[in-house]
Amino acid sequence: MNEYGLAIVIFTASGTEIETDGKKIPLSNHSLYRAIIDRCKTVSEALEFLEKYTMSPADNCSHFQIADASGDSVIIEYVGGEMKVLRSDKPWQVCSNFLIYGNPEMEGFGKDRYLDYQEYLDAHDGIVDEDTAFRLLHENHIPGDENYSVVFNLTKRTAAVEFAPEFAVRHRYQL
């Protein structure tokens, strides 16, 4: 998250196929994400940035979600060598560890977690408080793969983080 309330979250996603046609400058995934956070204030600016740059084909394993303090959100996936921009018809959006584009059944690793998050948000009009967000993250973790959980508040420019193995201790950061 940056000082404008723009955040990027990265997920592994089997089946990603990065552009290789040479129209865009490839950056390693970490450089691409860092450049967006450093140079953009909104989702619209991030999309303009992505018209010039893409992830390196060596990074064929992830997709990402970009959101800003206005509530705008997109998921970026690379399918068949093309960048796909996914928007939700709801004022919230969920992303997990599988490609969404062209996947109406939401098949793949992470479907269970995705559906749990989506079900909660649907039942609560997309509203979730920090404690409930952490509860959902803890209930839907990948056993043996726990590192940290983070909850952003993009309008207040805050992040609350719990690190493994001491998930009971919550650290707070303000930009």
Around Cβ 168, how many Cβ atoms within 10 Å?
A: 6
Over range 72-84, report the average pLDDT: 91
Please give the mean pLDDT across all residues of the chain: 90
| Backbone dihedral angles phi then psi of residue 26, each to the nearest 5 degrees | -80, 135
pTM: 0.91
Which range has highest mean pLDDT (100-114, 132-146, 151-165)? Answer: 151-165
Q: Give 146's pLDDT tier (boundaries 50, 70, 90).
A: confident
Residue with the bigger pLDDT between 97 and 121: it is: 121
Q: Over 70: is that where the pLDDT of 59 sits? A: no
Over range 49-60, report the average pLDDT: 82
Q: Over 70: is that where the pLDDT of 21 sits? A: no
Which range has highest mean pLDDT (15-29, 35-49, 74-88)? Answer: 35-49
Which pLDDT score is estimated for 108?
Answer: 85
Q: Rounded to an integer, what distance in angstroms lies between the CA atom of residue 20 and that of residue 24? A: 8
Q: Rounded to an integer, what distance in angstroms lies between the CA atom of residue 19 and that of residue 90? A: 29
Over range 152-163, report the average pLDDT: 96
Where would I find the H helices in the chain? Answer: 29-39, 43-49, 111-123, 130-139
Q: Over 70: is that where the pLDDT of 23 sits? A: yes
Which range has highest mean pLDDT (37-51, 53-67, 130-144)? Answer: 37-51
Q: Rounded to an integer, what distance in angstroms lies between the CA atom of residue 124 and that of residue 80? A: 35
Which pLDDT score is estimated for 17?
Answer: 81
- The residues, ordered by sequence, that sit 6+ positions from 103 with a Cβ below 8 Å of its Cβ are none
Which pLDDT score is estimated for 29?
Answer: 79
What is the second-level CATH architecture of the domain 7-174? 4-Layer Sandwich (3.60)
Residue with the bigger pLDDT between 81 and 5: it is: 5
